[in-house]
Amino acid sequence: MSRADVKTGTDLSRRRLGQAVGAGAALSLLGACATPSQPTVAAKPLGRVVVVGGGFGGATAAKYLKHWGGSSVEVVLIERSAQFVSCPLSNLVIGGSRRIEDLTMGYQGLRERGVLVLNDEVTSIDTAKKRVVLTKIADYSYDKIVVSPGIDFMFGDVQGLNDEAQKTILHAWKAGPQTVALRAQLEAMPDGGVYVLTIPKAPYRCPPGPYERVCQVAHYFKTRKPRSKIIVLDGNPDIQSKKALFLAAWNGPYAGLIDYRPNANVTELDARNRTAVTELGDRVKADVLNVVPPQRAGDIARTTGLVNANNRWCQVDWVTMESTAAKDVHVLGDATFPAPAMPKSGHMANQHGKVAAAAIVETLNGRTPQPLPMANTCYSFIDDKSVVHVASVHQYVAEKKTLEPVAGAGGLSSAASELEGQYAVAWARNIWNDMLT
Amino acid sequence: MTNQRAAIAAGAAIAAMLAAGPAAAQDAGRYLAGNCANCHGTDGVSAGGMPSLAGQPKAYMVGQMQEFKAGKRPATIMHQLSKGYTDQQIEMLAEFFSRVPRK
What per-residue confidence (pLDDT) applies to B28? Answer: 87
C-alpha distance from A101 to closest chain B C-alpha (Å): 19
What per-residue confidence (pLDDT) applies to A44? Answer: 76
pLDDT of residue A254 exceeding 80, the answer is yes
DSSP chain B: --HHHHHHHHHHHHHHHHHH-HHHHHHHHHHHTHHHHHHH-GGG--SSSS---TT--HHHHHHHHHHHHTT-S--SSHHHHGGGS-HHHHHHHHHHHHHSPP-
Query: Which residue out of B18, B38, B58, B95 would a mutagenesis test of the A interface target, given it has the greatest number of A Cβ atoms within 10 Å?
Result: B38
Q: How far apart are CA A262 and CA A213, in angstroms?
A: 16
Interchain CB contact of A426 with B (< 8 Å): yes
Q: How far apart are CA A129 and CA A143, in angstroms?
A: 10
Mean pLDDT of chain A: 92
Instruction: Answer whether B42 sits within 8 Å of A434, measured CB to CB.
Output: yes
Per cent of chain A over pLDDT 90 is: 89
What per-residue confidence (pLDDT) applies to B27? Answer: 78
Q: How far apart are CA A267 and CA A272, in angstroms?
A: 16
Q: How far apart are CA A255 and CA A242, in angstroms?
A: 18
B17, B42, B50 member nearest A370 (Cβ): B17
pLDDT band at A45 (very low <50, low <70, confident <90, very high): confident
pLDDT of residue A249 exceeding 50, the answer is yes
Mean pLDDT of chain B: 86
What per-residue confidence (pLDDT) applies to A35? Answer: 41
| Cα distance from N-terminal residue to C-terminal residue, chain B | 38
Mean pLDDT, residues A13-28 taken together: 38
What per-residue confidence (pLDDT) applies to A367? Answer: 95
In one-letter notation, the amino acid at residue A393 is: V
Q: Enumerate the residues of chain B whose CB falls inside 8 A of the CB of residue A419.
A: 76
Q: How far apart are CA A200 and CA A234, in angstroms?
A: 7
In one-letter notation, the amino acid at residue A257 is: L
Q: Enumerate the residues of chain B whose CB falls inside 8 A of the CB of residue A406.
A: 1, 3, 6, 83-84
Mean pLDDT, residues A188-210 taken together: 98
Mean pLDDT, residues A390-400 taken together: 98
Mean pLDDT, residues A101-105 taken together: 98
pLDDT of residue A365 exceeding 70, the answer is yes
Query: What number of other Cβ atoms are within 10 A of residue A198's Cβ?
Result: 28
pLDDT of residue A29 exceeding 60, the answer is no
Closest chain A residue to the Cα of B5, Cα to Cα: A397
What per-residue confidence (pLDDT) applies to A14? Answer: 38
Interchain CB contact of B12 with A (< 8 Å): yes
Mean pLDDT, residues A52-60 taken together: 98
Q: Is the peptide bond before A369 cis (omega within 30 degrees of 0)?
A: no
Q: Enumerate the residues of chain A whose CB falls inside 8 A of the CB of residue B99.
A: 36-37
pLDDT band at A260 (very low <50, low <70, confident <90, very high): very high
For residues A18 and A104, which has the higher predicted lDDT (pLDDT)?
A104
pLDDT of residue A242 exceeding 50, the answer is yes
With beta carbons less than 8 A apart as the criterion, state whether A86 and A432 touch: yes
Q: Enumerate the residues of chain B whose CB falls inside 8 A of the CB of residue A392.
A: 84
Q: Enumerate the residues of chain A whose CB falls inside 8 A of the CB of residue B24.
A: 367
* Full-model pTM: 0.89
Query: Which residue out of B52, B77, B95 would a mutagenesis test of the A interface target, given it has the greatest number of A Cβ atoms within 10 Å?
Result: B77
What per-residue confidence (pLDDT) applies to A256? Answer: 97
Instruction: Answer whether B84 sits within 8 Å of A370, measured CB to CB.
Output: no
Q: Which long-range contacts (CB under 8 A, 24 or more apart) does A272-276 make?
A: A274/A168, A274/A169, A276/A196, A276/A198, A276/A233
Q: How far apart are CA B89 and CA B81, in angstroms?
A: 13
**A201-210, A310-319, A423-432, B8-17, range with the lowest pLDDT:** B8-17
What per-residue confidence (pLDDT) applies to A2? Answer: 35
Q: Enumerate the residues of chain A whose CB falls inside 8 A of the CB of residue B18.
A: none
Residue A288: name the closest of A228, A243, A340 by CA.
A228
Residue A64: name the closest of A405, A353, A402, A425 by CA.
A353
Q: How far apart are CA A100 and CA A278, in angstroms?
A: 32
Q: How far apart are CA A382 and CA A214, in angstroms?
A: 9
C-alpha distance from A17 to closest chain B C-alpha (Å): 26
Mean pLDDT, residues A178-194 taken together: 98
pLDDT of residue A258 exceeding 60, the answer is yes
C-alpha distance from B73 to closest chain A C-alpha (Å): 15
Interface of A with B in 28-67 (CB under 8 A): 34-37, 63-64, 67
A375, A396, A420 member nearest B84 (Cβ): A375
A361, burial (CB in 10 Å: exposed 0-12, middle 13-18, buried 19+): buried
pLDDT of residue A37 exceeding 50, the answer is no
For residues A200 and A20, which has the higher predicted lDDT (pLDDT)?
A200
Query: What number of other Cβ atoms are within 10 A of residue A27's Cβ?
Result: 17
In one-letter notation, the amino acid at residue A283 is: R
Instruction: Answer whether B77 sits within 8 Å of A431, measured CB to CB.
Output: no
pLDDT band at B15 (very low <50, low <70, confident <90, very high): low
Give the DSSP letter of residue A417. Answer: B
| Cα distance from N-terminal residue to C-terminal residue, chain A | 35
Interchain CB contact of B73 with A (< 8 Å): no
What per-residue confidence (pLDDT) applies to B97? Answer: 97
What per-residue confidence (pLDDT) applies to B22? Answer: 53
Q: Per DSSP, what are the bridge partners of residue A232?
A: A197, A260
Q: How far apart are CA A187 and CA A189, in angstroms?
A: 5
C-alpha distance from A40 to closest chain B C-alpha (Å): 10
Q: Enumerate the residues of chain A whose CB falls inside 8 A of the CB of residue B89.
A: 373
Instruction: Answer whether A409 sits within 8 Å of B83, measured CB to CB.
Output: yes
